[in-house]
Amino acid sequence: MQKAIIGKKVGMTQIFDESGKVIPVTVVEAGPCVVTQKKTVETDGYTAVQLGFGDVKESKLTKPEAGHLKKAGVAPKKYLKEFKLDGAADMNVGDVLKADVFAAGDKIDVTGTSKGHGYQGVVKRYGAGRTPMTHGGGPVHRHAGSMGASSHQSRIFPGKIGAGQMGVEQVTIENLDVVKVDAELNMLVIRGAIPGPKGGVVYVRNAVKTIKVKSGEAGISKNPQKASGRNPQKASARG
């Protein structure tokens, strides 16, 4: 079943599993989220729900936003996000979703806005190389360099790397593990890092892609072009 919730990144820490191994985790304040709108096939052509997260003063909202939430009978919310969920038809406006919609062991995708780094050059932004620091390089060691031929094509193709705004982009990290869920504290503990700064809004939903784990033991290759295939005894000795 598809699940989703809106949350806020609290920060990173580490916990220990049963075997004593350290697990780097990110703590997310997930929900509570309120259903502020319900889309149906009859009225909208598809099924979805709009969730609201974060209380805010009504004066902080625009008149259309305030009117939209007042019509739904929901308290003013700062963040609204629509999700297409399998159980959207069974939800109603005013229903509350908490962190316990997820469980430990779930695979999730987390979407957030990456940290901003301001206006940066090609070396930091794209990892471009610099020119030699000696032999008259001049003050252009970290410049982009040649952009292309002047005769043909006589232009720069779209997508050419260059200096510009770095960060503040929507980033999705896929197939993360939910390590722990606390419904009372509205807390999700997620293995690994997620995009955005502390306090940044993130959207958590169940993973779209399924990772297949390879089964069976790794044996000696039968490919004659590989060393293990040409000399299996030598390959087994290396192991």
Name every residue whose Cβ is closer than 8 Å to that of residue 132 and which is 6 or more positions away in sequence. 141
Q: Give the pLDDT confidence of 86-109 residue by residue, as tens digits.
A: 778 888 888 888 888 888 888 999
Which amino acid appears at position 6 of this protein?
Answer: I
The CATH homologous superfamily of the domain defined by 4-116+164-206: Translation factors (2.40.30.10)
Per-residue pLDDT at 116: 93
Q: What percent of the chain has pLDDT over 70?
A: 88
Compute the distance between CA of residue 55 and CA of residue 95 in angstroms, rounded to an integer. 16
Whole-number pLDDT of residue 138: 81
Among residues 169, 4, 165, the alpha carbon closest in space to that of 84 is found at: 4
* Cα–Cα dist 197/233, whole Å: 53
What confidence tens digit (pLDDT) does each residue in 136-188 have?
Answer: 878 888 888 888 888 888 888 898 899 999 999 999 999 999 999 988 888 99
- What pLDDT, on a 0 to 100 scale, did the predictor assign at position 215? 63
What is the pTM (predicted TM-score) of this model?
Answer: 0.78
Averaged pLDDT, 48-66: 89
What's the CA gap between 36 and 75, in Å, rounded?
9
Q: How far apart are CA 171 and CA 7, in angstroms?
A: 15
Residue 237 has pLDDT above 80, yes or no: no
